[in-house]
Structure 1
Amino acid sequence: MKTIFVDGYNVINSWPELKEIKDYSLESSRKKLIEILQNYSAYKGYKVFLVFDAHMVDKSIEKKERCGENLIIVFTKEGETADSYIEKKVNNIGRKRDVCVVTSDSMEQQVIFQRGAIRMSSLEFYHEIKVVENKIKNKIEINTIIRKDSIEDRVEGEILEKLQKIRKKG
């Protein structure tokens, strides 16, 4: 299974829609990113770690939350950046698994390559997310069309009941 580490605030500050939301509410932009990544991880079947810095928060401890089957949200401990958390985790698993790190931080990018992971910029990831969102939307539309092809969707309730009675008799 592919593992993806996402530098949360780096992505929020790179994606136009999240940046706009962040200007009003950082919490709302985090929630929107979480929602997007839940759909992405479920569709692709990838394990996604969404990492947020808490290094500026006094006395914070590392906190992990599971959202759905494949998304884990991490708030780093006091004094630890998202970059250092990701580097540490990639160092442990980078050469053993298929690992991708989403960040636009140039220093982080070089360290990631050395540890055996691949890197995707926040904007490249944004475009991949949009492709997946369109695939999900198309799948939903196709399923809706298929459901409308059944007789139950085309016939009024009273007529449908009569047809079902005829079917049971025959």
Structure 2
Amino acid sequence: MTTWLIVDGYNMIGQWPALSGDGSRSLEEARDDLNARLDEYGALSGWRVLVVYDGYRVKGNAGTTRRFPYLEIIYTPEGVTADMAIERLAAQLPKRSHFYVASGDRLIQETVLSLGGLRMTGTELRQAIADARVKAHRLIHKEVPRSTLDGRIDPEVRSQLEKLIKEDDRPS
């Protein structure tokens, strides 16, 4: 069964100090950074990740969707807020789907719960991404035990073999 994560993009940027920064970063840089982190999380977790950004104030905006292997980015059209799109997406998920919505918006959180999903705060999302990175790092850098007889040989047999080796090493 697929697990879905729907992210309220601008809401998460506002809740994530590393993304929102001290004001020296552009909104585009913050979006790109969040998208990269969510794409990585999708790859590491195996979840379907969708991030939704408001485009409702942009005149003539038809909305766009960009799909990547582990992330789908949705920019809402003019007149449609991210909250509206998130509610619609959550309601359209297949029945019995496991899904989370990452948003600090209380109304969205309550709607998600009423639809059978779970809410995730910005702090919880940051922690989930950090945990996935740590898990992947440990898996990649895990010391693989060597497949040798050394670790499986009986100590008495080892001692006898070492004696034989020493005898063979003596000059004739």
TM-score, normalised to structure 2's length? 0.77
Distance 1:23 1:7, change over 3 A: farther
Distance 1:58 1:48 in 2: 27
* Residue number in structure 2 paired with 1:74: 74
Residue deviations 1:91-146, cap 9 Å, x none? 1226431111110101111111111211111111111111112222333434xx76
1:28 aligns with 2:38: no
Query: C-alpha root-mean-square deviation of aligned residues, in Å?
Result: 1.8
* Residue number in structure 2 paired with 1:123: 123
Which structure shows the higher helix fraction?
1
**Displacement of 1:62 after TM fit?**
1.9
Distance 1:22 1:77, change over 3 A: farther
* Residue number in structure 1 paired with 2:100: 100
Q: Which runs of 4+ in 1 moved over 4 A?
A: none
Residue deviations 1:34-60, cap 9 Å, x none? 111111101111100011111111111
* Residue number in structure 1 paired with 2:151: none
TM-score, normalised to structure 1's length? 0.78
* Residue number in structure 2 paired with 1:112: 112
Distance 1:21 1:135, change over 3 A: farther
Distance 2:90 2:123 in 1: 21
| Larger deviation, residues 122-131 vs 17-26 | 17-26
Q: Unmatched 5+ residue regions in structure 2? A: 147-172
